[in-house]
Structure 1
Amino acid sequence: MQDLFKKFIYTGIGFISITAETLKNTVEKLVEESKLSSDEGKKILDEFTKNTEAKKKEFEEQLSKIVEKVTARFKFVTESDLQEVIKRIEVLEGKEPAEKTTKKTVKA
């Protein structure tokens, strides 16, 4: 579920990146054609970047809240919950609890 949200975020960032590049090219073209001063062009790009960063942070906060609500609603297991269960199982089996027993395997 979280991977889906991450992909969604990265897709949005990709669109913003394309938009930023298009805006930059358009501003450069207008500056070359003397329809816009260099300072005005820089100001437009700076404002766009500043607004984009603010909106990105706002979006990430909202999305994080949504993910938390979905996780709570569907009762997904968190990493800390999983680690606690693993430690309890190890204690019941008579093993020493490991710090982190879940390992990802890497295929060569």
Structure 2
Amino acid sequence: EPFIIQDPDGNTYNLGGTPGDCGSSVNSFTVPAATWNGWATTFGGNIPFTLLGDPDVDSGVCGANNYTLTANEVLGFSLCSNSYNGAENASDLYPAGTTTVTYSTQDLNGNTLSCS
């Protein structure tokens, strides 16, 4: 099933498969560094992305809202872990709306970086 993510500026990203498609697909979108840095200045470590409801999702056919959230590793930092299940990805069934998942990583000097 397709899904739509809304960024803090109100832009939407249509991701996923086609209506009625219960298979899995991998999708991503890139946020330019200047945009991300602007959000970080405005929102700090709590940059909001919202999963919008999709009336085409048929929970009787597919598991509703099963999305995998991941963060990419940056050179010099340990792998990320999340506050939801402690793993690199936060796979689970998510309701439409906002679910806060905090990712944390540590650099080679022991400094911790978190965002949610």
Question: By percentage of residues, which structure has more helix?
Answer: 1
TM-score (norm 2): 0.21
Question: By percentage of residues, which structure has more strand?
Answer: 2
The structure whose Rg is larger is: 1
Greater relative CO (CA pairs within 8 A, separation 6+): 2
TM-score (norm 1): 0.23
